[in-house]
Amino acid sequence: MKKLLTIWLFISSFLIAKDYALLIVISKYKDRKIPRLNITEDIKHYENILRNMDFNGNIYFLKDSDATRDNILKNIQNVSGIIKKEDRFFMFFTGHGTDYKDEDYRLKLKETLPEIYWKDTGMLLPYDFNSNNNKIAQTLIIGKRDLRDYFTHIDTKTSKAFIVFDACFTENSSKGNLRGNNNRFLYIDTKNETYPYKNIVYIGASKTQARSGKLSKVLDQCLNKNTTFFNLKRCMNRVLKKSPHRAIVLSMSDEPMIFREKNIKRR
């Protein structure tokens, strides 16, 4: 009997999993030169998505002045330190983004940071982003400099992660290019790219400039607990058919684990 109890406790601990979500919504910036965004509906859409995915866990919510560079990176670091194999991680960001093709900031970046740190990767603008030449590099969140290590750590610890960046130039914001990697991955309107994560499903709003706030509405329409990855992409393509900006959808798997929940109790 004692042996059976030990086995049951082991199985139970394996099946009980936790959810973590990080919601970041920035409509206004400390730097007054950065345009304000009308994204008041995003929070509701993200909450609907979590509800539709049977989310039951901790939500870390950063809005406007709380969404500083330090706060965003500390929250991602915290999740990377505690997440376990059967846990799920959801991250949503709505705000401004940039990359090396963005004429507004490219020259300023060149003056303050070697290209190796920002070429071929996307960047997010946190609340305390400073567009002054001598501050721009230190106040950006740069994909391959600031996010790649944390996301790689999360990717090795859980098989269920879903990250959405609703901002301009977000094709490569979750990563930097891995040249020479021939692994196959799925995409919408993305060509000749490599993708470094085994378990993270990543969605970015656009290769170039896009209207922030639209992607959350599209995902709210297309995503629920019964959605397969194939149906999600098909729905997004249908809804965005007439849009000049196509979402970037990246995954190493045809059927990522986050869309294949089975017999997992969540607390």
- On the question of pLDDT at 9 being above 90, the answer is no
Per-residue confidence at 208, pLDDT binned at 50, 70, 90?
Answer: low
Among 136, 79, 149, which Cα is nearest to 108's? Answer: 136
pLDDT given at position 251: 86
Confidence of residue 183 (pLDDT cuts 50, 70, 90): very low
Helix locations, the chain, DSSP H = 2-15, 42-52, 69-82, 106-112, 136-139, 148-157, 214-222, 229-239
The answer to whether 25 touches 95, Cβ cutoff 8 Å, is yes
What is the average pLDDT across 84-105?
A: 89
CA distance 176 to 186: 17
| CA-wise closest residue to 128 among 238, 32, 231 | 32
Average of pLDDT values for 180-205?
Answer: 59
* Mean pLDDT, rounded, of the chain: 81
Average pLDDT score over residue span 203-217:
69
Tell me which residue of 138, 98, 91, 95 sits closest to 121, measured CA to CA. Answer: 98
Average of pLDDT values for 83-102? Answer: 91
C-alpha pair distances (Å), 72 with each of 22, 53, 60, 89: 9, 23, 10, 15
Closest CA to 155 of 258, 55, 46: 258
Task: Give 162's DSSP letter.
Answer: E
| Rounded Cα gap, residues 7 and 30, in angstroms | 55
Judge whether 75 and 6 are in contact, CB under 8 Å: no
Which structural domains are found in the chain, ordered by start? Answer: 17-266 (3.40.50.1460)
Give yes or no for residue 89 having a pLDDT over 80.
Answer: yes
pLDDT tens track for 118-149: 777 888 999 999 999 888 999 999 988 899 99
State how far the Cα of 94 lies from the Cα of 82, in Å rounded to an integer.
Answer: 25
